[in-house]
Amino acid sequence: MSSETDHGNAQSQPRTALVTGGTSGIGRAIANKLVDAGFHVFVTGRRQAELDTLVDELGDAITAVRGDVASVEDLDAVYAAIAQRGTGLDLVVANAGGGTFATLEDLDPEAYDQTFATNVRGTVFTVQKALPLLNAQASIVTIGSTSASRATAAFGVYSASKAAVRQFSRVWAIELAPRGIRVNTVTPGPTETPGLAGLASDPAESRALLDQEAGRVPLQRLGRPSEIADAVLFLASPQAGFITGTELFVDGGESQV
């Protein structure tokens, strides 16, 4: 299937995006921003109730497809739904991810496999399976982490998985450049999301964790999901037409100064 021929009429339609893991936190903020910018947005998530809530709030501009990015079969169902719409894809945001704390001594194979299955396998095959549907001048944005470029005790598996995502994005930028498709990574710093708060075991520990993370940022606060979404929207826009293979840090200076 050729994106340049089969989806040639897509430019007369609202642009179409896919956001994986889009029911909360950064993913949800990205979906909101894209709808505001006129995209029709396909959103994936593992919990149907949260997908239903998103559709209720954002209406017909959202198509929600339940699925786990670590499952190739679930990804096939996602892309079947996108293909049925008939407008191809202008933007893929590989956002789904997560991790847990575990030192090298405490790490078990199941936790290792789960993190890499979601963060790396899920990202790789989300992007691979999008290729037949990508329109000319489409954009791919992967979501990285400042953890990939610094060391945090007990966070090695997550850090390594995000380093892998960053390196894949570099390679894909070269491979897809002949099609005019740009690939970039948005790298958030500590951001106030349920995922970050959920790394702690109770509300008191959660508040302490958030305060600790904010204290490491030169701007002395956590990022807002909408700020990460703004960066994604920029990379999807014509204003970023000469940007590919880059890593855009949205981290309050945490890893830069």
Q: Enumerate the active-site residues.
A: 158
Hunting for tokens 């830069």 — which residue is that?
Answer: 256
Distance CA 156, CA 161 (A): 9
Burial 11-36 (b: 16+ CB within 10 A, else e): eeeebbbbbbbbbbbbbbbbbbbbbe
Question: For residue 5, how many C-alpha atoms fall within 13 Å in the half-sphere facing its CB?
Answer: 2
Taking a C-beta distance cutoff of 8 angstroms, is the pair 205, 245 a contact? no
SS3 241: coil
Q: What one-character DSSP code corresponds to residue 62? A: E
* Secondary structure element (H or E) that encloses residue 247, with its range: strand 247-250
Q: Are strands 40-45 and 62-66 parallel, antiparallel or unpaired?
A: parallel
Taking a C-beta distance cutoff of 8 angstroms, is the pair 107, 38 a contact? no
Distance CA 107, CA 100 (A): 10
Distance CA 168, CA 182 (A): 13
Distance CA 176, CA 121 (A): 19
Distance CA 86, CA 89 (A): 9
Q: What one-character DSSP code corresponds to residue 223? A: B
